[in-house]
Amino acid sequence: MSVFWGELAGTAILILLGGGVVANVVLNDSKGQNSGWIVITAGWGFAVAIAVYVAGWMSGAHINPAVTLGLAVLGKVPMAQIPFYVAGQFAGAFLGAIMVWLTYKKQFDATEDEGLKLAVFSTGPAVRHTGWNLISEIIGTAMLMIGVLGIFHANNNIGSGFGPYAVGILVFSLGLSLGGPTGYAINPARDLGPRIAHAILPIPGKGTSDWSYSWIPVVGPLVGAVIGAFLFDGLTKMI
């Protein structure tokens, strides 16, 4: 059960701090309002690093079903453990989203734009196009998977204490470089768990949860992680 609790704790921290920085930037009457994309991407990068530091010793801190799947196809995660990873990740994402709402309750009340309220919980495309949005999530998650495998490769000589920080830098970089088209979900739990919370929570004037788009930040990352895992594995076998 350490896998379940580790993933729950790590993913809850990820969403509390990651969703929290979005709320701080986009909601009315927040001290960080309009501070911009750099703040959001930095906040998500730091969120990942802290989540991995906290949960790494319990579960390895995948905090992402796509990462779990990518590791599983390479034989690095027993198939029997996948349900425990995924259950913890989705439960943690849902709980983290609720904590963001509780923290920013008055700011949600002061914000009229339903799109900004949804943005705190889940991603959305800058230009809506199913095919290209899907490609963006596939490429972003493939790069995430390649980066994670590279950082923690046995021959990389990166100390275990620096690994979580390096993953945070990776996510910061992904947001800065590849986050523009779709908001770089690159994590099915990160997007779907909070989206469900958005649908359930009593947020005034929240609008819809954009379910027609919701499959893209789930399918895209899963496909991308498998591609990234096989690309990195193939590269290492050629060397």
Domain extents in the chain: 2-238
Q: What angle do CA 7, 8, 13 make, to 5 degrees?
A: 95
Give yes or no for residue 66 having a pLDDT over 90. yes
Q: What CATH class is the domain 2-238?
A: mainly alpha
Residues 159, 156: Cα–Cα separation, whole Å: 9
CA distance 188 to 215: 9
C-alpha to C-alpha distance for 214 and 210, rounded to whole angstroms = 7
| Inter-residue contact 189 to 86 (CB < 8 Å) | yes
Contact yes or no for 232/149 (Cβ under 8 A):
yes
- For a pLDDT cut of 90, what percent of the chain falls above it? 94
pLDDT at residue 131 tops 80: yes
Long-range contacts of 200-203 (CB under 8 A, 24+ apart): 201/98, 201/101, 203/101, 203/108, 203/117
pLDDT band for position 159 (50/70/90)?
low
Better pLDDT: 62 or 157: 62
CA–CA distance, 219 with 117 (Å, rounded to integer): 23
Is the distance from CB of 121 to CB of 39 less than 8 angstroms?
Answer: no
CA angle at residue 106 from 104 to 110, to 5 degrees?
115
Token pair listed for 96: 């983290």
- Which pLDDT score is estimated for 155? 83
Residue 232's H or E segment, with its range, is helix 216-238
- How does pLDDT run across 16-55, given as a tens digit for each residue? 999 999 999 999 999 999 999 999 999 999 999 999 999 9
Judge contact between 166 and 151, C-beta under 8 A. Answer: yes
- For residue 70, give the nearest of 222, 238, 216, 185 by alpha carbon: 222
Percent above pLDDT 70 for the chain: 99
Whether pTM > 0.85 for this model: the answer is yes
User: In the predicted model, is pLDDT for residue 230 greater than 90?
Assistant: yes
pLDDT value for 154: 80
